[in-house]
Structure 1
Amino acid sequence: MKTDFESIHTAQQADSLVRAQLVELLEGGFAPNVILLREFDYRKAGIILDGLHFSAWILLGHIRARQQTLLSFMKHPEQNVDVWPDAHWPENHTPESEQEWHQAIDSYAQELNEMISLVKNPATDLFAVQPNGKTLSWAAMTTLHHTGYHIGQLKTIGRQLGVW
């Protein structure tokens, strides 16, 4: 039979493990998202391949919009009840400049780091059910799942365009 100390210690270990795994996956796991985005040639970021309705630039804008919504929920859960509004798909399919492409990636990375800081912080209760029935861990997992899906699309587009 475990003592109270052993139970608390085990719970703290589990909490630390979950936080570390969430951070690893938010960063992109074995294929870090920010590195992949920085490798993408901005001159090809506006190309829409036959059969698709998006370019790499549109995907980046869509990823950021969803991440911003979920980050806002994580920062102020009581004020952000609608965490899954209609998907935002940018109308312009091409960055205006290399600078705009890199600024968007920098903003994505900064927002991602904010989310990671919240996940890493032991004072953040990842599992408290919020007024909308969601948890902060749900928001982090939704972010990594959504981003991973679209990063896979971006990687496929890049391969078709000769980026990699």
Structure 2
Amino acid sequence: MKQDLQLREQLVKLMRGGQAFSPMEHILKGITVENAGKQTNQLPYTLWQLIEHLRIAQWDILEFSRNPEHKSPKWPDEYWPKETAPADKNALDKSIKAIYADLDAIVKLVENPANDLFEPFTHGDGQNLLREAMLVAEHTAYHLGQIVILRRLIGDWE
């Protein structure tokens, strides 16, 4: 039981970040609508596209983990927005808030000892909650790193 609790605590720390890289809150803080849509020759996407992709993918993982009836978006078209910029500040804020809310929901799934981390879901191809939590952590870390790089390239990072 002690090891199960330790594993859950470590998974939460891994998903929330801040151990090997800046926490998500720091990386996403202060992004403006103008900067969210800026394009650079060095990368094929904008901050907005990265933020929206992060939101969509994380939401999909969450729903897959808690809803056997969930249908994932079509890959890759429905995981990446076509728009290069948010419509307005409300759209940007809404997307970032959804990322935080869905992360909190995934954390709650992992923290709940009634949820077996190792039991394969009744749906899918053998995935379990442990695998999905690690997928969230890996995917988030990867794209947060891209966000930092892009913010540096457009002059929006300290």
Q: TM-score range by the shorter chain?
A: 0.7 to 0.9
Report the CA distance shift for 1:85/1:16 in structure 2 as closer, same or farther (over 3 A).
Answer: farther
Q: CA deviation at 1:96?
A: 1.6
Query: CA contact under 8 A between 2:49 and 2:81: conserved in structure 1?
Result: yes
**Which residue of 2 is the match for residue 154 of structure 1?**
147
Structure 2 residue 116 is matched with structure 1 residue 116 = no
**Which residue of 2 is the match for residue 7 of structure 1?**
none
Counterpart of 1:105, as a letter, is: I
Percent pairwise identity: 30
Equivalent position to 2:12, from 19, 23, 38: 23
Q: CA deviation at 1:62?
A: 0.7
Tell me how far apart the structure 1 counterparts of residues 85 and 27 of structure 2 sit (CA, whole Å): 18
**Which residue of 2 is the match for residue 125 of structure 1?**
116
Equivalent position to 1:144, from 131, 137, 149: 137
Q: Find the residue that maps to 2:29 and give its secondary structure.
A: helix
Q: Which runs of 4+ in 1 moved over 6 A?
A: none
**Which residue of 2 is the match for residue 34 of structure 1?**
25
Q: CA deviation at 1:49?
A: 1.2
Counterpart of 2:62, as a letter, is: L
**Which residue of 2 is the match for residue 86 of structure 1?**
75
**Which residue of 2 is the match for residue 9 of structure 1?**
none
The structure with the larger Rg is 1
Structure 2 residue 77 is matched with structure 1 residue 74 = no
Segments of structure 2 that go 5 or more residues without pairing to the other structure are none
Aligned pair count?
Answer: 151
Segments of structure 1 that go 5 or more residues without pairing to the other structure are 1-11
Query: CA contact under 8 A between 1:70 and 1:143: conserved in structure 2?
Result: yes
Query: CA contact under 8 A between 2:53 and 2:81: conserved in structure 1?
Result: yes
Q: CA deviation at 1:73?
A: 1.3
Tell me how far apart the structure 1 counterparts of residues 73 and 136 of structure 2 sit (CA, whole Å): 11
Counterpart of 1:50, as a letter, is: N
Q: CA deviation at 1:104?
A: 0.9
Tell me how far apart the structure 1 counterparts of residues 91 and 72 of structure 2 sit (CA, whole Å): 27
**Which residue of 2 is the match for residue 5 of structure 1?**
none
Report the TM-score when normalising by structure 1.
0.84
Report the CA distance shift for 1:94/1:152 in structure 2 as closer, same or farther (over 3 A).
Answer: same
Tell me how far apart the structure 2 counterparts of residues 144 and 156 of structure 1 sit (CA, whole Å): 18
